[in-house]
C-alpha cells in the first residue's frame, strides 16, 4: 500500500483544520473546494492517490431525523471517562479533544462530522467488562434475548467470533449505503473473514486503526547489528529485495549470542539474537502466517474447508522448530511480551518479534536506534511478506434482529465513519505515526509499506473454537514440542473436520432482512 510523502503537509493541515473548524457536509465542502480552485486542472483536483479525494456515494441530504445509533463495545465506564490507559478507545471510538494528539482529535471530529452530516446521535456504550470470559456470555445472552438497547458491536475478534453464530448476526454483504469496494474497507481481510465467500458477518475498516498497531513486526537493534554484522542498511537491502527469510533470521540471530555475564552458561544474563516468551505461542502465530502456511481452501461454492496437508506446512514447522530451538539464536524466558520489548531497549537482543503498538509506549524512549522489518518469509520463492491481523483486533458486526430501517442507518454511519477516517487521518497515522514516530529512518518506512501490503487474516484461527484449534495443534504446538507436522496433522484432522463441518452451517446461517 504505497504512501505518498508529498501529501503529508496537506494532510496535517487538514487534520488541524478539522479539529478546530465546525463540521460541514462533506459534499458541500467538496463543492466549495472545487469552486475555489477553478484555475487548477481536474487531474490535480482529483488526484486518485490523495485520500482526501476519495468520497463516498451516499446521496447529499441523506438525513435520519436525529435517530439514535448505539455501539456496544467490550470495555467499562473508565474507558469513556478517560481513567484508563486503553488508548484504543480514543483511536477507534471516541477520540478526544483534550490530550492534544492530532489523530485522536481527528477521531473526535470524525464522530461530530458523521452525526451532523446524517443527523444521528452516536452513543458508545461499554459492556461493563474487559475480559473475554465475561464479555462472551454477556454478548450471547443479549443476542439470544434480542436486546434492543444497542445497534451494532465493536469488539475483538476473540469475542465476536466466539458468539457470532449466523442466526445471531446480520449478513452485511448487502448493507444499505455501504460500498465494500470503497478504499476504506479492508477488502482482502474482509474477504478472508467470509466463511462462504458470499456473506459477511464481521468487517474491518479504517476507523478501526488499532488493528494496525497490533500487527506484529520484526524490530532490530541497529547499533548491535553494526557491531555484529556491519552496515544496518544491508539488512534493509536484504528485506526489500525479498530475501529476509526464517533461515536468514536464524543465521543473523545465532551470530549475536554473547556470554555477557561470563559464567560459561547460556542464561538470562546473556545477549541473544531473539528473546521470546516461555510459551512462544504469541510470537509463533504471526510467524506461521508470515511464512504463508496454507491452512484452508474454498470449494466451488466458496465454502471454507480445512486444507492443511501440504508440503509447505511441513517445511514451515521444520524451519520454525530449527529457529526456536537454536540455543545460540533464541532464548525463551519467563517474561511477558511487554517485558521483552523493554529488554530489547536495554540492548539484550538483536531482534524483537513484537507488535507495532509497543513502539509507542516503550521503544520510543530507546536510546539506540532501531529498525522495523516485516515478519520473515519461509523462503525467497515466497512472493510477498505476510502480516497477521490478530484476532485480538477489533471487528464491526450487527445483531440479526435489527430492523431494516436501523440497518440502513447503521450502514450509513459506518460508511461515513470509515470514509472520514480514510480521508482525514489514515495517511497521517501511517506516514507520521507508523513511519516517522515508530520508525527512525526512511528505510524502515519502506518496510512498513511491505508490512501493510501483506495484511491478512487466517479464518481458522479466528474461529479456532469451532475447529478444535487446528492451527495451534498442527502449526504452533509442534514447533514448541519439536514434533513433526505430519504426525500431529494425522492425529488432529478427523476431530477438527468433524467439529468444523458440524459448526459451519450455523456459523454462516446469516439471516435475511427483517
| β-strand partners of 219 | 352, 372
Mean pLDDT to the nearest integer, 188-209: 91
Q: Could you give the percent of the chain with pLDDT greater than 90?
A: 52
Is 173 buried (19+), middle (13-18) or exposed (0-12) by CB count in 10 A? middle
* pLDDT over threshold 70, residue 259: yes
- pLDDT for residue 514 is more than 90: no
The predicted pLDDT at position 430 comes to 64
Q: Is the pLDDT of residue 70 over 80?
A: yes
pLDDT at 390: 86
Query: In terms of DSSP bridges, do strands 296-298 and 370-373 run parallel, antiparallel, or are they unpaired?
Result: unpaired
State the cell numbers at 215: 500487527
Q: What is the pLDDT of residue 287?
A: 95
* 13 vs 97, residue with greater confidence: 97
Per-residue confidence (pLDDT) for residue 28, from 0 to 100: 34
Residues constituting the chain: 514
Of the pLDDT bands very low, low, confident and very high (cuts 50, 70, 90), residue 360 is: low
pTM for the predicted model, two decimal places: 0.83
Tens digit of pLDDT for each residue in 444-492?
A: 778 888 888 899 988 898 899 899 999 999 999 999 999 999 999 999 9
Averaged pLDDT of the chain? 83
- Residues whose CB falls within 8 Å of the CB of residue 348, separated by 6 or more in sequence, listed in order: 271, 272, 275
- What's the pLDDT score for residue 434? 59
Q: What is the pLDDT of residues 299-323, one digit of tens each?
A: 998 999 999 999 999 999 999 999 9
Q: Tell me which residue of 420, 421, 426, 511 sits closest to 146, measured CA to CA.
A: 511
Q: How far is CA 94 from CA 177, 215, 420, 433, in A?
A: 23, 22, 14, 19
Grid cell in block for residue 227: 557491531
Task: Look at residue 125 and give its three-state secondary structure.
Answer: strand
Rounded Cα distance between 141 and 129, Å, is 14
pLDDT at 440: 65
Quick one: cell of 409?
442507518
Whose CA is closest to 249, among 267, 225, 265, 233?
Answer: 225
**What's the pLDDT score for residue 31?**
33
- Mean pLDDT lowest among 6-10, 249-253, 334-338, 392-396: 6-10
Residue 120 to residue 326: CA distance in whole angstroms: 58
User: Exposure of 365 by Cβ count < 10 A (0-12 exposed, 13-18 middle, 19+ buried)?
Assistant: exposed
Q: Model confidence at 425, in pLDDT bands (50, 70, 90)?
A: confident
Structure confidence at residue 402 as a pLDDT band (50, 70, 90): very high
Residue 115: what pLDDT? 97
Query: 287-319 burial string, b = 16+ CB within 10 Å, else e?
Result: bbbbbbbebbeeeeeeebebebeeebbebbbeb
The predicted structure's pLDDT at residue 90: 59
**CA geometry: angle 77, 130, 78, nearest 5 deg:** 20
Residue pair 184/377 in contact by the 8 Å Cβ criterion: no
In the predicted structure, residue 32 carries a pLDDT above the cut 70 = no
SS3 273: strand
> Which range, of 64-68, 74-78, 202-206, 388-392, averages the lowest pLDDT?
74-78
Say whether 355 sits in a helix, a strand or coil: strand
Confidence of residue 100 (pLDDT cuts 50, 70, 90): low
For 53, the grid coordinates are 479525494
Question: Hey, is 372 helix, strand or coil?
Answer: strand
Residue 414, C-beta contacts closer than 8 angstroms, at least 6 positions apart: 152, 175, 177, 178, 205, 396
Coarse DSSP helix, strand, coil percentages of the chain, rounded to the nearest 5 percent: 50, 15, 40
Kindly indicate the confidence band of residue 46, based on its pLDDT and cuts at 50, 70 and 90. Answer: low
Cβ-in-10-Å burial (0-12, 13-18, 19+) of 20 comes to: exposed
Give whole-number Cα distances, 369 to 200, 215, 275, 438, 440, in Å.
43, 21, 18, 11, 7
- Is residue 109 over pLDDT 60? yes
pLDDT for the residue numbered 112: 94
Q: Highest mean pLDDT range out of 264-278, 385-399, 478-492?
A: 478-492
User: Which candidate, 258, 326, 314, 269, places its Cα nearest to that of 288?
Assistant: 314
Question: What would the pLDDT profile of 7-18 be if each residue is shown by its tens digit?
Answer: 333 333 322 323
Mean pLDDT lowest for which of 68-77, 155-164, 201-210, 387-396? 155-164
Residue 420 grid cell = 472520514
- Residues 99-108, mean pLDDT to the nearest whole number: 74
pLDDT range class, residue 98, cuts 50, 70, 90: low
Please give the pLDDT value at position 482.
Answer: 96
Amino acid at each position: 500500500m504505497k504512501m505518498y510523502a508529498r501529501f503529508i503537509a496537506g494532510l496535517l493541515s487538514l487534520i488541524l483544520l478539522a479539529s478546530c473548524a465546525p463540521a460541514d457536509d462533506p459534499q458541500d465542502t467538496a463543492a466549495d473546494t472545487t469552486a475555489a480552485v477553478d484555475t487548477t486542472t481536474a487531474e490535480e483536483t482529483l488526484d486518485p492517490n490523495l485520500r482526501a479525494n476519495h468520497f463516498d456515494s451516499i446521496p447529499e441530504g441523506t438525513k435520519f431525523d436525529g435517530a439514535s445509533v448505539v455501539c456496544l463495545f467490550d470495555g467499562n465506564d473508565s474507558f469513556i471517562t478517560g481513567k484508563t490507559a486503553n488508548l484504543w478507545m480514543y483511536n477507534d471510538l471516541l477520540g478526544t479533544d483534550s490530550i492534544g494528539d492530532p489523530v485522536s482529535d481527528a477521531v473526535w471530529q470524525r464522530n461530530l462530522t458523521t452525526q451532523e452530516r446524517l443527523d444521528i446521535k452516536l452513543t458508545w456504550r461499554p459492556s461493563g467488562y474487559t475480559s473475554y470470559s465475561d464479555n462472551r456470555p454477556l454478548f450471547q445472552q443479549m443476542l439470544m434475548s434480542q436486546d434492543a438497547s444497542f445497534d451494532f458491536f465493536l469488539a475483538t475478534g476473540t469475542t465476536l467470533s466466539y458468539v457470532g453464530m449466523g442466526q445471531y448476526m446480520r449478513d452485511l454483504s448487502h448493507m444499505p449505503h455501504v460500498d465494500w469496494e470503497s478504499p476504506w474497507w479492508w477488502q482482502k481481510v474482509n474477504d478472508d473473514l467470509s466463511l462462504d465467500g458470499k456473506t459477511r458477518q464481521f468487517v474491518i475498516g479504517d476507523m478501526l486503526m488499532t488493528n494496525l498497531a497490533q500487527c506484529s513486526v520484526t524490530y532490530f537493534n541497529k547499533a548491535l547489528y553494526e557491531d555484529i554484522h556491519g552496515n544496518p542498511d544491508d539488512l534493509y537491502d536484504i528485506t526489500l529485495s525479498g530475501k529476509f527469510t526464517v533461515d536468514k533470521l536464524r543465521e543473523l540471530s545465532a551470530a549475536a549470542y554473547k556470554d555477557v555475564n561470563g559464567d560459561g552458561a547460556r542464561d538470562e544474563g546473556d545477549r541473544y539474537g531473539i528473546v521470546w516468551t516461555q510459551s512462544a505461542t504469541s510470537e509463533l502465530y504471526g510467524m506461521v502466517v508470515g511464512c504463508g502456511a496454507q491452512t484452508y481452501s474454498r470449494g466451488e461454492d466458496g465454502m471454507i474447508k480445512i486444507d492443511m496437508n501440504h508440503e509447505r506446512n511441513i517445511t514451515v514447522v521444520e524451519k520454525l522448530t530449527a529457529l526456536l530451538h537454536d540455543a545460540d539464536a533464541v532464548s525463551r524466558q519467563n517474561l511477558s511480551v511487554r517485558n521483552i520489548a523493554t529488554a530489547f531497549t536495554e540492548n539484550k537482543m538483536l531482534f524483537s518479534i513484537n507488535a507495532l503498538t509497543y513502539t509507542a509506549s516503550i521503544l520510543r524512549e530507546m536510546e539506540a536506534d532501531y529498525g522495523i522489518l516485516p515478519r520473515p518469509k519461509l523462503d525467497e520463492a515466497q512472493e510477498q511478506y505476510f502480516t497477521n491481523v490478530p484476532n485480538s483486533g477489533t471487528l464491526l458486526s450487527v445483531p440479526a434482529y435489527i430492523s431494516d430501517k436501523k440497518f440502513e442507518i447503521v450502514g450509513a454511519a459506518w460508511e461515513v465513519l470509515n470514509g472520514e477516517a480514510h480521508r482525514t487521518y489514515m495517511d497521517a497515522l501511517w506516514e507520521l505515526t507508523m513511519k516517522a514516530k515508530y520508525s527512525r529512518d526512511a528505510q524502515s518506512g519502506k518496510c512498513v509499506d511491505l508490512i501493510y501490503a501483506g495484511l491478512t487474516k487466517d479464518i481458522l484461527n479466528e474461529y479456532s473454537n469451532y475447529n478444535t484449534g487446528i492451527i495451534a495443534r498442527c502449526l504452533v504446538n509442534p514447533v514448541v514440542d519439536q514434533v513433526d507436522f505430519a504426525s500431529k496433522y494425522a492425529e488432529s484432522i478427523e476431530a477438527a473436520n468433524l467439529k468444523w463441518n458440524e459448526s459451519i452451517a450455523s456459523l454462516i446461517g446469516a439471516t435475511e432482512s427483517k
